[in-house]
Amino acid sequence: QEYVALKLKTLQWCEKAKELIGDKIPADADVYFIPATLRPETMYGQMAFQNIFSPWGEYDQVLGIKGSDVIGTLVHAPLSIHEKGIRILPMSTVKPTKGTGVVTCVPSDSPDDYATVLDLRKKPEFYGIQKEWVVEEILPIIQTPSSNLIAKHLYETMKINSPKDQKLPEAKEIAYKEGFYSGVMIYGEFKGMPVQEAKPLVKKQLLDLGLAFNYGEPDGLVISRSG
Catalog residues that contact ligand ZZB under the rule CB under 6 A.
Answer: 1, 36-39, 42, 94-95, 98-99, 101, 103-104, 106, 109-110, 172, 175-176
Shortest distance, CB of residue 31 to ligand ZZB, whole angstroms? Answer: 20
Residue nearest to ligand ZZB (CB): 109
Instruction: Single out the residue of 76, 37, 48 nearest to residue 176, CA to CA.
Output: 37
Helices (H), 135-213: 150-157, 168-182, 195-208
For ligand ZZB, which is the closer residue by CB, 88 or 94?
A: 94
Question: Closest distance between ligand ZZB and the C-beta of residue 221, in Å?
Answer: 11
CB of 199: closest distance to ligand ZZB in angstroms?
11
Nearer to ligand ZZB, 65 or 217 (CB): 217
Smallest separation (angstroms) from ligand ZZB to the CB of 219: 8
Q: Which is nearer to ligand ZZB, 2 or 23 (CB)?
A: 2
Q: Which is nearer to ligand ZZB, 21 or 50 (CB)?
A: 50
Q: What's the CA gap between 161 and 221, in Å, rounded? A: 30
Cβ atoms within 10 Å, residue 1: 14
**What gap in Å lies between CA 142 and CA 193, rounded to an integer?**
10
d(CA 54, CA 115): 20
Are the C-beta atoms of 124 and 131 separated by less than 8 Å?
yes
